Amino acid sequence: MTDSLRIAVAQVNPTVGDVDGNAAAIRHHWHTAAERGADLAVFPELCLSGYPPEDLVRKPFFLDAVHAEIDRFAGLSREVSAGLLFGAPWRDDDGRVYNAAVLIDRGTVGVRRKHDLPNYDVFDEKRVFAAGDLPGPVDFRGVRIGIPVCEDVWTPEVLECLTETGAELAIVLNGSPYEAGRYDTRLQVVLERVRESGLPILYVNQVGGQDELVFDGASFAINPDYSLAVQLPGFEETVAMTHWRRDGDGWVCEEGERTPPPDGLESVYRAMVLGLRDYVRKNGFPGVILGLSGGVDSALSAAVAVDALGPDKVRTVMMPSPYTSEESLEDAAAAAALLGVRLDRIDIGPAMDAFESMLAPQFDGREADETEENIQARSRGLALMAISNKFGHMVLSTGNKSEMSVGYATLYGDMCGGYSVLKDVYKTDVFRLCRWRNQQRPPGALGPAGRVVPERVITKPPSAELRPDQKDEDSLPPYADLDDILHCLIEENLGTEDIVARGHDLETVRRVWKMLDIAEYKRRQAPPGVKVGTRAFGKERRYPITNAFRGQI
């Protein structure tokens, strides 16, 4: 009978679709774990394919590549002293495809298929995977290990079945995305499963960015007495050894590394950094380019970009119009200097004149309005895209969630770009994040310590500067009111009466609701961006563009 286990937890960052690269990383960490004396090396959910693979698993030749690597692992396992546990798509002989945990040891392959497939928020696994039967434990060197996969621990059924069929401990493979407060929710869920089952649970989560999603790692182990034995860091790739021993009729994890995961504004900021870093790195861009307007959104976006990529991979451009203030020119230059990035200047006045001349016959007799304002924004977008095409840098969009919610943005203008780090960040939080970053330099940041956003950029009234003396609040409610109303509508799905009961003006609520609905067509054409909250635009919140419902308004 085995009385102790050394389990290496590989909190790694796979790339969706890179089966060869992911397999090479698994092999490397597996060998290293074995050399360090591990009995078993554990990797996250769908680590071999990358998570979420979405419709890639519908391609037979993609699954062929996955299974070929599994076969190679099985052959290699006869030479490696440690066992290997990882997540992968698994195709049965009948053609059904499962989200599976694969355990390989000494030439044998065991498979446990995910039973509870999530189909809410950002998840739609029922679309591409079949649900497995309730699983029993697997025998690993004399120890009966239950292997739930992610959602399998969010309800009692799978752990109950594993306990009844003799599991002695549980190892959960996860691809659990970040959102603010999510770590505490995970911990409470796992504690409840420990309470119900009496089993210790090792929770292994992946790290890294994948399109809109960011995975924050923060893997941990909980003992039957509810003590936190191991806590790995958030937002960092790492491999850690955990030590397990038999204790009477059960198992316990000995106390090991315990790094508190970041929370609050730090966790949001680090999610944005990791999301952008991986989007640029995994898609092969040499860097990013963005318009630096002298405003707070572009300043924060530039700071995140520098922290993610380094100043040498970030280009900024100031694109003044006749309505750009001298203050904005100074603030853009000050922001670029603080960050150490290149700042170019391209005046869009000639483009505005050219469009005015081109369109004069069409617009004859009509007063200037938002059309001319949008031409300015689109001239800037055209200039950024031209530089992107010429040099390969991805355009980083700088719009925030408040603007995207109500359509206070120009299609093919300031909305153009390949990615947005502020897409799920309300304007009031933009200010808070700027102040936080000026006081803190997060681990792994490639930007400078100290102030990175000029104080005047944070304190001056926001303005698009598309007409004389323009202020955002000429067109929008004050951001404190706007953001609270939007949070009620988007995150909480509240009706008008409930929002008014919170102290908001009825007509303002009606106006914001209407702006939110009619801007849906714009959001469909917006770039992807980091999800940090509970209802991000994109996969998580989906409304029809053609929509006549107006609820209580």
* Tens-place pLDDT, residues 402-415: 999 999 999 998 89
Q: Angle at the Cα of 378 (from 374 to 379), degrees rounded to 5?
A: 115
pLDDT of residue 136: 94
Q: Classify the phi-psi angles of 36: left when phi > 0, otherwise alpha if psi is within -120 to 50, otherwise beta.
A: alpha
pLDDT for 466 equals 66
Residue 467 has what pLDDT? Answer: 67
Average pLDDT for 516-520:
92
Contacts of 546 (CB under 8 A, 6+ apart): none
- Is pLDDT of 552 > 60? no
- Choose the catalytic residue: 69, 114, 423, 434: 114
Rounded CA separation 424/551 (Å): 24
d(CA 401, CA 440) in angstroms, rounded, equals 23
Residue 394's identity, in one-letter code, is M
Residue among 45, 168, 373, 540 flagged as catalytic: 45
| pLDDT single digits (tens) 145-186 | 999 999 999 999 999 999 999 999 999 999 999 998 899 999
Q: Are 226 and 256 in contact (CB under 8 A)?
A: no
Q: pLDDT, tens digit, for every residue of 345-392?
A: 999 999 999 999 999 999 998 988 889 889 999 999 999 999 999 999
The number of residues making up the chain comes to 553
From the list 150, 161, 416, 434, the catalytic residue is 150
Check residue 464 and give its pLDDT: 66
Distances in whole angstroms, Cα of residue 281 to Cα of each of 4, 527, 529: 40, 17, 15
Determine whether 114 is an active site residue.
yes
For residue 541, what pLDDT is reported? 83
φ/ψ (deg, to 5) at 143: -115, 130
C-beta separation of 299 from 456 below 8 A: no
Q: Which of 113-122, 231-240, 333-342 has the lowest mean pLDDT?
A: 113-122
Residue 474: band (very low, low, confident or very high) from pLDDT cuts 50, 70, 90: confident
Query: Given a cut of 60, is residue 61 above it in pLDDT?
Result: yes
pLDDT band at 472 (very low <50, low <70, confident <90, very high): low
Model confidence at 311: pLDDT above 70: yes
Q: Look at residue 29 and give its three-state secondary structure.
A: helix
User: CA dist 543 to 482, 488, 538, 547, Å?
Assistant: 20, 16, 10, 8
Nearest CA among 282, 262, 526, 221 for reference residue 401 = 526
Confidence of residue 537 (pLDDT cuts 50, 70, 90): confident
316/463: higher pLDDT: 316
CB 55 within 8 Å of CB 96? no
How many helices (H) does the chain have, and how many strands (E)?
16, 20
Please state the separation of Cα 435 from the chain's center in Å: 22
Q: Please state whether the peptide bond connecting residue 52 to the residue before it is cis, i.e. omega within 30 degrees of 0.
A: yes
Tell me, yes or no, if 150 is annotated catalytic: yes
Does the structure show a pLDDT above 60 at 324? yes
Distance (Å, rounded) from C-alpha 314 to C-alpha 273?
13
The strand ranges marked E within 276-423 are 288-291, 314-318, 342-345, 394-397, 419-420
In Å, the largest CA–CA distance within the chain is 91
Q: Which amino acid type is present at position 37? A: G
Q: Considering only CA atoms, which of 190, 243, 305 is closest in space to residue 39?
A: 243
**pLDDT exceeding 90 applies to what percent of the chain?**
86
| CA 145 – CA 250 distance, rounded (Å) | 12
Would you state the pLDDT for residue 550?
Answer: 67
Paired residues of 173 in beta bridges = 149, 204
Residue 469 has pLDDT above 80, yes or no: no
What mean pLDDT is reported for the chain? 94
Q: Which helix (H) or strand (E) holds 193?
A: helix 182-197
pLDDT of residue 551: 61
Chain-centre distance for alpha carbon 148: 23
pLDDT confidence tier of residue 191, bands split at 50, 70 and 90: very high
Q: Does residue 282 carry a catalytic annotation?
A: no
Q: What is the pLDDT of residue 372?
A: 87
pLDDT surpassing 90 at residue 316: yes
Q: In 3D, which of 311, 325, 314 has the Cα closest to residue 291?
A: 314
449, pLDDT greater than 90: yes
How deeply is 48 buried, as exposed, middle or buried, from its count of CB atoms within 10 A (0-12, 13-18, 19+)? buried
